[in-house]
Amino acid sequence: MLTPCEVAVKSVVPSIRAFIAIELTQTYDMKQNDVADLLGITQTAVSKYTTQVRGAVLKINQAEEIQSMMKNIARQLANGEIVRQDLVVKFCEVCRVVRQKGMMCHLCKRSDPTLDVKICRVCKSGNLACTRN
């Protein structure tokens, strides 16, 4: 069994990085090396994110609120308005919204087939335990 944070690290964080990498390279016409420096990852990782080899497991950009949050992060990065320490907080904020919207429930279910995602409220409320069969 993986905790929701472990599931998020494997799915949500790469999806956030992919969206931001694409936004920075396409909208702000930034080079992959510059994007890599801003995100604290390698140029190769940026390449994989922008070609959707990595970070495509979860389609979080389909939710308008989340897309807006990620676009704001990209804008702040492009304009030098955010430092890496604050970037961590921004990623956590996006992840919290993804979890509250139940967008990764199916991935939690995949990691633990006994999890009843219909009644699980761990990510949505933050204070109730998951019910297991």
Task: In whole angstroms, give the CA distance from residue 124 to residue 33.
Answer: 37
Write the CB contacts of 6 (distance below 8 Å, at least 6 apart in sequence). Answer: 111
pLDDT one-digit tens code per residue, 60-95: 888 999 999 999 999 999 999 998 889 999 999 999
Phi-psi region at 98: left, alpha or beta (left = phi > 0; alpha = psi -120 to 50): alpha
For the segment 15-68, what is each residue's pLDDT rounded down to a tens digit? 999 999 999 999 999 999 999 999 999 999 999 999 989 877 788 888 999 999
Q: What is the pLDDT of residue 122?
A: 86
